[in-house]
Amino acid sequence: MASTTRRKRLALFTVCCCILGTGIIGLWAVRDYLINRPIVLEEAFPHGEIRIGVDASFPPFAVDDGTSLWGLDIDLGEAIAADIGLPVRFVNMGFDGLYDAVIADQVDMVISALRVDLSRTADIRYSHHYYDAGLV
């Protein structure tokens, strides 16, 4: 009798593990979908344009000459917007306010010479660097 009860418990334990395992796999599949799902432009850029924060006091990357913005960062932002197919609006601000502008939803992205700050990775996503100035 003890061996029959033990087999039933083992069978029940196995079934429960399979059900829990399927649930965990299901949760991972949902998590994977949410992370890797296709980006919908209306979600990523709800204002109908790409708002890019720049510090236009750092030639040759971004310069404000009083009438327009120009530089490598500006060209990169315009190329990204053209590739996505949305208009672009550059928001010139001080370097120390760039992170806060993203967090406060004043801009959608920042193109600037920001260093990766590991303490901000929960709030900010970084791209690969687009310019390597070498050893400084």
pLDDT per position as a tens digit, 37-92: 777 888 889 999 999 999 999 899 999 999 999 999 999 999 999 999 999 999 99
In this prediction the pTM is: 0.70
Asked if 63 and 55 touch (Cβ cutoff 8 Å), the reply is: no
Number of neighbouring beta carbons within 10 Å of residue 127: 7
In the predicted model, is pLDDT for residue 110 greater than 70?
A: yes
| CA atoms of 41 and 51, how far apart (whole Å) | 13
Rg (CA), the chain: 25
Number of neighbouring beta carbons within 10 Å of residue 114: 15
In the predicted model, is pLDDT for residue 35 greater than 70?
A: no
The widest CA-to-CA distance across the chain, in whole angstroms, is 91
61 closest CA partner among 112, 123, 9: 112
